[in-house]
Amino acid sequence: MIPNLTRRTALTLLASTLARAADKLPANKNVKWALGSNLWNSFPRAEEPKFSFLDIFDVMKDTGFTGVRVTQFPQILTKFNITTEQMRKEADKRGLQIITISFNGPAYDAAQRPKLFADARTAMNFLKNFDAKLLVVFSPNRSNLTEANFRTMCETYNQLGEIAGEMGFRAGLHNHMGQMVQTQEEVDRCMAMTDPKLFWFSPDTAHLHLAGCDAAYNLEKYKSRLMMMDYKDAKRDPALIFPKNIFDLGDGEVNFPACHRALKSINYKGWICVDLDIARQGPRVSYERSGAYVVKTLEPIYV
């Protein structure tokens, strides 16, 4: 039997060790940190039975990323064999949140607006089960890019933003390589052609960087319209084909300290999603490394 003093000492040491470990997790104060479920969709189909949505939740809880952006909705519910009710219950048990989904649709085609708006309402009604208030909107495939289609897309986004507002949500643009809003000129045009009272901005730093844009410049320029954002690192290396040009935070070329200073200037209070497309040593290691970068490099600038 261990003497009382030894046991007390051991418990004290254990408590202090756990406290130090907890201190190394992202603080989730003004800035709240999330991840994207799409990383788990990147594994070969043969590996899919090896993990469940609860594994995503467990990685989140252990690494301090307390929110998740759900991708491939509604198919993801079937893929992981989980109901909305089960997802809410398991998230609540771990102190986690579903914060948004990745929403897309043929916004360039006015004839398809009724279905797109119906799909958006379905997505937002799903998100209401988690008290979420954000709808991240990806633009259509770049193969549809024409001047007329771009204008129609922006008109659609104004109407979508109005619908979102009526449901207590904010909808915002997510730029992306290979989509109709990719370059700086396209980001600027979309922001200029949409109503700032109706449609917000949810930028992706990696896809800005890969498109030749300055991520920090965009956060500064559109800071009054920031809804949430992706902090994703990348390298402009022509030898690297997507997703191998995406990296854990701090391993690429994106100037996150400058991005964070832009957020500090507006006293930003909201979500940042570290939405990795590749995990070279597995999701847990990538999010541990990204979380350590947040704590060491970004929190001294703004928590």
pLDDT tens figures, 264-279: 999 999 999 999 999 9
What's the rounded Cα separation, in Å, for the pair 60 and 175?
25
In a domain, 3, yes or no: no
Check pLDDT > 90 for residue 17. Answer: no
In a domain, 4, yes or no: no
Check pLDDT > 70 for residue 249. Answer: yes
In a domain, 33, yes or no: yes
Q: What is the pLDDT of residue 41?
A: 75
Mean pLDDT estimate for the chain: 92
Distance of CA 282 to the CA centre of its chain: 18
In a domain, 140, yes or no: yes
What's the rounded Cα separation, in Å, for the pair 36 and 24?
21
In a domain, 2, yes or no: no
Q: Could you give the number of structural domains in the chain?
A: 1
Question: Average pLDDT of 119-148?
Answer: 98
Which structural domain, as residue segments, surrounds residue 170?
Answer: 26-298
In a domain, 10, yes or no: no
Q: What is the pLDDT of residue 42?
A: 72
Model confidence, pTM: 0.90
Q: For the segment 81-122, what is each residue's pLDDT rounded down to a tens digit?
A: 999 999 999 999 999 999 999 999 999 999 999 999 999 999
Q: Say what percent of the chain tops pLDDT 90.
A: 86
> What CATH number is associated with residue 178?
3.20.20.150
Check pLDDT > 50 for residue 233. Answer: yes
In a domain, 303, yes or no: no
Residue 26 DSSP code? -
In a domain, 77, yes or no: yes
Residue 294 DSSP code? I
Do 221 and 184 meet the contact criterion of CB atoms below 8 Å apart?
no
